[in-house]
């Protein structure tokens, strides 16, 4: 094992795959000369040159479309958005083209493309730069959606995403790029659609993903001091979702809390709630609790932003509610 920052794990995954397969290239704003807006492509221009690490104008619709089109001629692009908030400018290329090429060509063409970049809030960036759009993309058949929470998962999942023959939305966090963690030496992948039981427990299941799962970790540590044992499941992949991991845990603990940084209406937690009550209703000893942001655009004020975001106290309160404490 070695210790890497999240951004280094991303850069390693892309570089290793680009050495393995010359059809892979990276395209986006500031990915080349500036080494990436968050330094997640540091050194890649020097190694692979300007034909494979390509700076673009501020035109997400344009370079998303170039990426999608290039898959039809045998390429496997990685398209970086400076933030997934900006992907909305190019979302027609993702939803109407990338996600539908395989079906609309009768299986004659696949679309092996990765769209990657940060999602969710990252401090005082205002409402338009603080949106978590995982559920938007996960709602669309034909797309896979990955949201890692640590460097080791980021590297293994990104390598799998790049090798996948269908479009993958790979969502990171500006607040995680500096996070450090142990990463296996050598080549490895983590399959898409397999959750990680991050912490085993007996009293309640907490399901989460991405950077907000840290709040679940903090809550579980505090609850353990009170004798409450939490099982934490890191989804890692939102779609396809590892429903079996969730159901098996709920059948053991009989209680479920879902933590997600997203607006409360029609999100990933809503989908999990339906699936569990539909397939494990008789195992539940309490109603499912889901924890989300407030149902408003993200505020700029640091005081309001702290209230808007889910936190460990919200998790503790939800756990105690399902335990009737």
Half-sphere exposure of 234 (CA within 13 A, CB side): 21
DSSP class per residue in 94-129: IIIIITTHHHHTTTS-----EEEEE-S--SS--GGG
Q: Considering the chain, what is the average pLDDT of its residues?
A: 97
User: Is the pTM for the entire model greater than 0.95?
Assistant: yes
Q: What is the pLDDT of residue 7?
A: 98
The CATH code belonging to domain 2-183 is 3.40.50.970
- Residue of 17, 60, 80, 271 with catalytic role: 60
Q: Within its chain, how far is the Cα of 2 from the centroid?
A: 23
- Residue of 17, 29, 129, 260 with catalytic role: 129
Report percent pLDDT > 70 for the chain: 100
Half-sphere exposure of 134 (CA within 13 A, CB side): 34
Q: What is the pLDDT of residues 70-89, one digit of tens each?
A: 999 999 999 999 999 999 99
Fold classified for 196-323: Rossmann fold (3.40.50)
Q: What is the pLDDT of residue 90?
A: 96
Q: What is the pLDDT of residue 220?
A: 98
DSSP H or E segment with residue 47:
helix 44-48
Same fold, 2-183 and 196-323: yes
Structure tokens at 214: 């840290």
Q: By CB neighbour count within 10 A (0-12 exposed, 13-18 middle, 19+ buried), where does 87 fall?
A: buried
200 a catalytic residue: no
Q: What is the pLDDT of residue 69?
A: 98
- For the chain, give every domain's residue range: 2-183, 196-323
Q: What is the pLDDT of residue 305?
A: 96
Q: What is the pLDDT of residue 164?
A: 98
Q: What is the pLDDT of residues 181-211, one digit of tens each?
A: 999 999 999 999 999 999 999 999 999 999 9
Contact 40, 7 (CB under 8 A): yes
129 a catalytic residue: yes
């Amino acid at each position: 094992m070695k210790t890497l920052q999240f951004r280094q794990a991303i850069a390693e995954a892309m570089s290793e795959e680009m050495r393995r397969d010359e059809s892979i290239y990276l395209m986006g704003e500031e990915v080349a000369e500036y080494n990436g807006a968050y330094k997640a492509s540091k050194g890649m221009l020097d190694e692979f040159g300007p034909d494979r690490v390509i700076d673009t104008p501020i035109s997400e619709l344009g370079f998303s479309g170039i990426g999608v089109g290039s898959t039809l001629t045998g390429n496997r692009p990685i398209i970086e958005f400076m933030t997934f908030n900006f992907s909305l400018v190019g979302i027609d290329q993702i939803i109407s083209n990338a996600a539908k090429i395989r079906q609309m060509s009768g299986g004659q063409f696949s679309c092996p493309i990765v769209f990657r970049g940060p999602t969710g809030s990252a401090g005082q960036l205002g409402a338009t730069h603080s949106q978590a759009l995982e559920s938007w993309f996960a709602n669309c058949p034909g797309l896979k959606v990955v949201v890692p929470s640590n460097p080791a998962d980021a590297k293994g999942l990104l390598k799998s995403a790049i090798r996948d023959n269908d479009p993958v939305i790979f969502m990171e966090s500006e607040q995680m790029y500096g996070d450090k963690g142990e990463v296996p030496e050598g080549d490895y992948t983590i399959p898409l659609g397999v959750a990680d039981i991050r912490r085993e427990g007996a009293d309640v299941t907490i399901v989460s993903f991405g950077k907000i799962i840290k709040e679940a970790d903090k809550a579980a540590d505090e609850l353990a001091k009170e004798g409450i044992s939490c099982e934490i499941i890191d989804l890692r992949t939102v779609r396809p979702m590892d429903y079996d991991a969730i159901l098996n845990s709920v059948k053991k603990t009989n209680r479920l809390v879902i933590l997600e940084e997203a607006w409360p209406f029609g999100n990933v937690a809503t989908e999990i709630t339906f699936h569990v009550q539909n397939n494990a209703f008789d195992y539940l000893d309490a109603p499912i609790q889901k924890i989300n942001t407030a149902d408003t655009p993200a505020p700029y004020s640091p005081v309001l932003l702290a209230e808007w975001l889910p936190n460990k106290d919200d998790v503790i309160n939800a756990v105690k509610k399902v335990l009737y404490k």
